[in-house]
Amino acid sequence: MGKVILEVKDLTTKYITRFKEDVYAVDHVSLKVEEGKSLGIAGESGCGKSTLALSLMGYYFPPLYYTSGDIIIDGKHISGMDPDEVRKTILGKEIAYIPQAAMNALNPTQKIINFVEDVVRAHNPSATKKDIYDMARQRFEFLGLPANVLDKYAVELSGGMKQRTVIAISVILGPKVLIADEPSSALDVTSQKMVIKMLRDLMDKGIIKAMIFITHELPLLYNVTNDIMVMYAGQIVERGSAKEAVFDPLHPYAKGLMGSIIVPEEGLRNVKLTAIPGVPPNLKHPPAGCRFAERCKFAKPECRVISVQIKEAGPGRTYRCIFSESELREAYKNG
C-alpha cells in the first residue's frame, strides 16, 4: 500500500436553502486516495458528486456549510482550520480544483498572466512580477501550452485552449491533490482527448500526486482512473477498482448505471440498454431506509426501513446494500 495523500473521514456537508431547509448533499462520506493513484466519482446529476468535490476543498461559502468529518491532505488536517488559513496555505497549494465549465472559469476582462499573478500573490505576496512570469511560462511550456497564451484574454482563446489553460493555472502552485469536476464534458472529442492526456501527464510527470475525477461519463472513468466510486443521493454506494466497478458492480444502482453505458468493443447489438426507472429522492427529506429502495427492482420491504452501512467486499472494495455479495450476484444472474 502506498502513502495516503488524501483521506476523508465521515465528511458531511449541507446546503441551507433560501427557505432555511437543510439539504445534506454529502452524507458521511469516507475515502482514501494513495500516492500516484486516481479516483473516479460517478453518479447521476444531483447525486452530490459535485458538492463532494467542493466539500473536499475544505473552503466553504454560502449556501454550502461544513457539518462534520475530517479531511486530511498529506497528513494535514484541514477541516478544523481557520478559513483564511485554508485559503492561504491549502487552496491551490495542497489541493486544487478544475471547475465544471472551465470555459467560464476565467475572468473575461483579465489577461491570463494577471490572473496568475493574483493567484501566486494570494499565497506569496512578495513574489515579483518577473519571477511569476518566468515560472508561469515554464509551467505552461512544460505542459505543452504556448507561452503567448499568458498575454491573452480568456475571450481570445478557443474552448479547448481555455480548458487547458485553466488546468495549467490550477496546478501552477504544485498542489498534491487535483480535483477535476467534469473537466471535459462540454468539449468536442479532440479537445476532450487533449484534456485527458494533459491530466494523465500531470500524474506521470509528478506535478500532482493524486487526482479525483468526477464525471457522469463512465467509459471515460474506466479509461482514466484507477478506482471508481459511485454516489447516490449524497452517499457512497459502491467503490472498487475501475474494472470491478464497471464490469462487476455489486450495488443495484451501480449495476443499473453500468447497464446504461455502451462498451464499444462489444458492439451495439449484444448490449441491452437499460435505464433506471424513477428519480433520485428529495434530499430535503431523505427516505429512512436505503435511499435507492424506491427505484430498486430487488428491494425487499425491510430495505425501506433499515439504513445499511458500508460493507467490505475484498481489498479496496466496498458497497452499501442489505444483500450479501453472493445474493446480489445470484439476483443479477437471474435478471
Positions touching other proteins (CB under 8 A) are 57, 59, 61, 87-88, 90-93, 96-97, 99-102, 104-111, 115, 118-119, 122-123, 133-134, 137, 147-148, 151-153, 155-156, 166, 169-170
Nearest approach, Cβ of residue 62 and other proteins (Å): 10
Residue (79 or 241) nearer to other proteins, CB? 79
3-state secondary structure of 243: helix
Residue (111 or 216) nearer to other proteins, CB? 111
Residue (166 or 198) nearer to other proteins, CB? 166
End-to-end CA distance of the chain: 37
Q: What whole-number distance in Å separates Cα of residue 176 and Cα of residue 83?
A: 19
Q: What whole-number distance in Å separates Cα of residue 46 and Cα of residue 282?
A: 10
Beta bridge partners of 210: 177
Nearest approach, Cβ of residue 186 and other proteins (Å): 11
Nearest approach, Cβ of residue 218 and other proteins (Å): 25
Residue (166 or 303) nearer to other proteins, CB? 166
- 181's CB contacts (< 8 A; 6+ apart) are 49, 50, 53, 97, 98, 99, 100, 214
Nearest approach, Cβ of residue 97 and other proteins (Å): 4
Nearest approach, Cβ of residue 107 and other proteins (Å): 5
Nearest approach, Cβ of residue 179 and other proteins (Å): 9
Nearest of 142, 160, 139, 161 to residue 152 by alpha carbon: 161
Residue (169 or 258) nearer to other proteins, CB? 169
Q: What whole-number distance in Å separates Cα of residue 253 and Cα of residue 275?
A: 11
Nearest approach, Cβ of residue 155 and other proteins (Å): 5
Residue (106 or 228) nearer to other proteins, CB? 106
Residue (15 or 153) nearer to other proteins, CB? 153
Cis geometry, peptide bond prior to residue 286 (ω within 30 degrees of 0): no
For residues 145 and 65, is the Cβ–Cβ distance under 8 A? no
Beta strands in 183-250 (DSSP E): 210-214, 227-232, 235-241
**Residue pointed to by grid coordinates 509528478:** 206
Residue (131 or 330) nearer to other proteins, CB? 131
- 204's CB contacts (< 8 A; 6+ apart) are none
With 0-12 / 13-18 / 19 or more C-beta atoms within 10 angstroms meaning exposed / middle / buried, residue 304 is middle
Nearest approach, Cβ of residue 61 and other proteins (Å): 7
